């Protein structure tokens, strides 16, 4: 591990580098949601609202939207492209499958440089070889890799400034999320819950990669803080050993933080969702299994957990809880909205973690009849939990039909919130699964499920549906149905528009108030990434990455067969109004 002292003593080149590193500041990142000329963070602002105040492209002009340029990621490395571009200083920084990142000239679409991380053959990503984006700070662009490393590159040259190993890929660790920078700290999570890793959030110095703190997200594990020389000091156990986990299972408990986090400057808190407990077979781990399938709020500078809310205690369906926590104002208070994989939308006080409301955002939920607003706990339907295989033949428990399916009512695809309409725009999926439990034991690097499953569509005519959700009432204001599952993110603008992509290859724009489709463009491959927008020289642009893949074709069962005609790809498309050509 490098230290600040090492950097300072290394000679004139590092000193020159440090002088350059003031390009993108903490103040710029805290105000990124208001910056119309750049897109400086994942979520179009650290709060994750994915809302732009730009209005040049609006309900009246969007029909004139045409391509400005397109850039191909090239080569044979296709698969899922889930990246959100970062726009900074006249450049686009966009990650691609297999841990690649490109710098592109915004005006011309020409490649400025490419970095292609060298991956070991033994990497074991759960859900495709995806990467969701990068972070920028100073003169660096920083992203995570499938072999669980963080890489910081010079924005101008693409040369490595620092590189740090986060954990052992051979044990199932990886990184797919875009990093978060809050209060000058680079904050990242880890992927790998299906391999029995231990989830955590950690903070680093973004200029050097030096580790500042780590906070495990499985109860019973110790957190640490690190001084300038890299010396570790214990910073308290997460929760209480064995309070909600039996025996030794907490040692391989999952709860990965694979989607990354958000940060709200008004509360001073960073918010991370945590994934499923391991293994899936819940009968092996009676208890709530804190802090799996939860939302946690952390102090960005120390990693201390300020509050936690568990969305699915003793998760038996791989519902996870890693979905983004998007902060917003309502009734004079600051809340967070979360469309959980388990099918419920949660409205939570962003400062205290107190549950305000919870309601379904999909049509069919079988595992619980609702959420008790007083206790915050789900009202489980016991008959719809997969049974204990040891109570039968010891090989397989009874099969139950559960909805949503484990891929979730909403998965990695980020939603958007519009302060203009007061609505959340949620890419939802209606599907179910046959699921059963099986015996399982932990083996380093091996799949750690203890369950079998088959995903099935619930309706003949659609699986995906973009839904406008009112967080005050819990009502679905409108919906746009889609034949295939929706797997790409959403953006909304002050021009009265909502943009989203479909696996069939379309980028669409609809009216934010009514859902009426106003424009669409065929990108040539499925869109499973979130769009962004910015302004340059008086012209508003919209961009989206295209490239079908992700978890659906790998894990989707009968659903995967329905969409096996879709073609892979790898490109980024940029659009502007024809009148601005």
Three-class secondary structure of residue 374 per DSSP: coil
152 close to 145: Cβ distance less than 8 angstroms: no
Q: What tokens appear for 370 in the block? A: 């609702």
Closest C-alpha among 480, 493, 488 to residue 546: 488
Sheet holding 539-546, edge to edge: 65-72, 571-577, 539-546, 532-536
Handedness of CA 522, 523, 527, 533 (dihedral sign): negative
Three-class secondary structure of residue 409 per DSSP: coil
Contacts of 384 (CB under 8 A, 6+ apart): 366, 367, 400, 401, 402
Q: What tokens appear for 390 in the block? A: 């040891």
Tokens 């105000």, residue located: 31
Cα–Cα distance measured from residue 211 to residue 467, given in angstroms and rounded to the nearest whole number: 40
Contacts of 363 (CB under 8 A, 6+ apart): 430, 458
For every residue of 139-179, DSSP letters joined together read TEEEEE-TTSEEEEEETTT--EEEEEE-S-GGGT-B--SPP
426 close to 415: Cβ distance less than 8 angstroms: yes
First to last CA, the chain: 49
Contacts of 6 (CB under 8 A, 6+ apart): none
Cα–Cα distance measured from residue 373 to residue 357, given in angstroms and rounded to the nearest whole number: 7
255 CB burial (10 A radius; 0-12, 13-18, 19+): buried
280 close to 318: Cβ distance less than 8 angstroms: yes
For every residue of 177-188, DSSP letters joined together read SPPEEETTEEEE
Q: What tokens appear for 473 in the block? A: 């009432």
144 close to 168: Cβ distance less than 8 angstroms: no
As beta bridge partners, residue 108 has: none
3-state secondary structure 428-490: EECEEEEEEECCCCCCCCCCCCCEEEEEEECCCCCCEEEEEECCCCCCEEEEEEECCCCCCCE
Residue 227 vs residues 8, 175, 224, 506: alpha-carbon distances, Å: 16, 25, 10, 49
245 close to 36: Cβ distance less than 8 angstroms: no
Q: Count the neighbouring beta carbons within 10 Å of the beta carbon of residue 222.
A: 13
Cα–Cα distance measured from residue 376 to residue 369, given in angstroms and rounded to the nearest whole number: 13
Name the residues annotated as catalytic. 318
Q: Count the neighbouring beta carbons within 10 Å of the beta carbon of residue 470.
A: 14
């Amino acid at each position: 591990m490098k230290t600040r002292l090492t950097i300072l003593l290394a000679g004139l080149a590092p000193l020159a580098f440090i002088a350059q590193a003031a390009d993108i500041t903490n103040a710029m990142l805290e105000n990124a949601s208001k910056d119309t000329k750049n897109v400086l963070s994942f979520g179009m602002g650290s709060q994750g609202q994915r809302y732009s105040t730009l209005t040049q492209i609006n309900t009246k002009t969007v029909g004139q939207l045409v391509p400005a340029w397109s850039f191909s990621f090239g080569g044979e490395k296709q698969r899922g492209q889930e990246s959100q571009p970062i726009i900074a200083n006249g450049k686009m920084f966009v990650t691609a499958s297999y841990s690649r990142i490109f710098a592109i000239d915004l005006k011309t679409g020409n490649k400025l440089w490419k970095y292609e991380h060298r991956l070991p053959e033994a990497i074991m990503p759960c859900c495709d070889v995806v990467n969701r984006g990068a972070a920028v700070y100073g003169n660096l662009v920083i992203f995570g890799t499938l072999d669980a490393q963080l890489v910081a590159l010079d924005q101008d040259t693409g040369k490595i400034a620092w590189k740090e190993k986060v954990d052992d890929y051979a044990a199932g660790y990886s990184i797919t999320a875009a990093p978060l920078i809050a209060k000058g700290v680079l904050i990242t999570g880890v992927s790998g819950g299906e391999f029995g890793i231990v989830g955590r959030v950690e903070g680093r110095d973004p200029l050097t990669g030096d580790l500042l703190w780590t906070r495990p997200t499985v109860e019973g594990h110790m957190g640490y803080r690190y001084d300038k020389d890299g010396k570790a000091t214990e910073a308290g156990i997460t929760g209480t050993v064995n309070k909600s986990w039996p025996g030794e299972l907490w040692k391989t408990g999952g709860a990965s933080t694979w989607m990354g986090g958000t940060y709200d400057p008004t509360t001073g808190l960073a918010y991370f969702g945590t994934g499923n407990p391991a293994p899936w077979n819940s009968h092996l781990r009676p208890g709530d299994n804190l802090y799996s399938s939860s939302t946690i709020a952390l102090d960005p500078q120390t990693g201390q957990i300020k509050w936690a809310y568990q969305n699915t205690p003793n998760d038996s369906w791989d519902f996870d809880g890693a979905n983004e926590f998007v902060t917003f104002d309502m009734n004079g208070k600051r809340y967070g909205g979360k469309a959980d994989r388990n099918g419920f939308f949660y409205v939570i006080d962003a400062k205290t973690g107190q549950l305000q409301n919870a309601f379904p955002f999909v049509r069919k939920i079988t595992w619980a009849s609702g959420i008790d607003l007083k206790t915050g706990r789900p009202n489980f339907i016991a008959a719809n939990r997969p049974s204990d295989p040891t109570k039968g033949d010891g090989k397989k428990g009874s099969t139950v039909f559960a909805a949503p399916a484990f891929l979730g009512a909403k998965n990695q695809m980020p939603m958007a919130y519009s302060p203009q309409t007061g609505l959340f725009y949620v890419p939802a999926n209606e599907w179910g699964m046959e699921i059963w439990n099986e015996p399982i034991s932990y083996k380093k690097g091996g799949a750690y499920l203890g369950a079998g499953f088959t995903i099935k569509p619930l309706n003949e005519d659609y699986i995906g549906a973009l839904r406008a959700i009112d967080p005050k009432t819990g009502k679905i204001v409108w919906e746009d149905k889609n034949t295939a599952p929706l797997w790409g993110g959403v953006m909304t603008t002050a021009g009265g528009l909502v943009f989203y992509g479909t696996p069939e290859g379309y980028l669409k724009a609809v009216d934010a108030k009514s859902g009426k489709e106003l424009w669409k463009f065929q990108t040539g491959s499925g869109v499973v990434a979130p769009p962004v927008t910015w302004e340059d020289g008086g012209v508003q642009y919209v961009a989206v990455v295209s490239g079908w893949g992700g978890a659906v074709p790998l894990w989707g069962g009968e659903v995967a067969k329905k969409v096996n005609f879709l073609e892979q790809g790898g490109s980024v498309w940029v659009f502007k109004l024809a009148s601005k050509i």
